[in-house]
Amino acid sequence: MANQTLPAYKADFLKAALDGGVLKFGTFLLKSKRTSPYFFNTGEFYSGKLVKALSAAYAHTIAEAHASGVLDFDLMFGPAYKGIPLVATATLALSQIEGGKYDDIEYAFDRKEAKDHGEGGNFVGAPIKGKKVLIIDDVVSAGTAKREAIDKIRSEGGVVVGIIIALDRQETLPSSDGDESGDRPSAIGALRKEYGIPIIAVLTLEDILAGVKGLISEDDVKRVEEYRAKYRASD
């Protein structure tokens, strides 16, 4: 049963992630070399049922941010590679809610390598020039890929107005000297400050902790809470 402490779309998305093995609990070595008690991989959303839950969650997150005045956009952009199916399915799902209010929202994505035949170029989909662009992706790790996407969009004459991701781990950037003490921002917090744009997650670590109680073991909950306390970001 969906957890009633979260909005329905968040609870449904979390349940789908758990049932589909997208969100796992255990012991996982991250790229940052930290050992995490949980792991989230949007690459595991590969069935129709899971894609439906994923795209609906993105759509409701975007619509909620738009309705509150946080976002104003014309086009959604998915950075290659994971961002491509995310932006396509999110655009479709967004058009299916609120009575077609978002039917005219367009999407585009980039190529890792420029195409030198046919239509050519680095981009596929709607023209970016002069558009207010919302980036759709899975997570922010160090932020490097998002900076590259922003630079590409700007080079095409687009204006980046925000970023939507699936999960905000709400943890600090790894320390270069190994000292994990003291207040430090997350990668998302650093990007927000650098570009002055909203970066919104479908789920945060706080959402996960609120939603999984009763669905996973108390020991797993405790380990995630301890991890959060150790690496909690200042933002």
The span from the CA of 86 to the CA of 138, in Å, is: 8
Give the C-alpha separation, 192 to 217, whole Å: 34
Three-state SS string over 101-154 comes to: CCCCCEEEEEEEEEECCCCCEEEEECCCCCCEEEEECCCCCCCHHHHHHHHHHH
Task: Please indicate whether residue 60 is annotated as part of the active site.
Answer: no
152 is catalytic: no
Catalytic pick from 33, 112, 117, 129?
117
- Cα-based distances in Å from 125 to 9, 75, 107, 119, 122: 28, 10, 6, 11, 10
Catalytic site residue from 49, 101, 115, 230: 115
Residues known to be catalytic: 115, 117
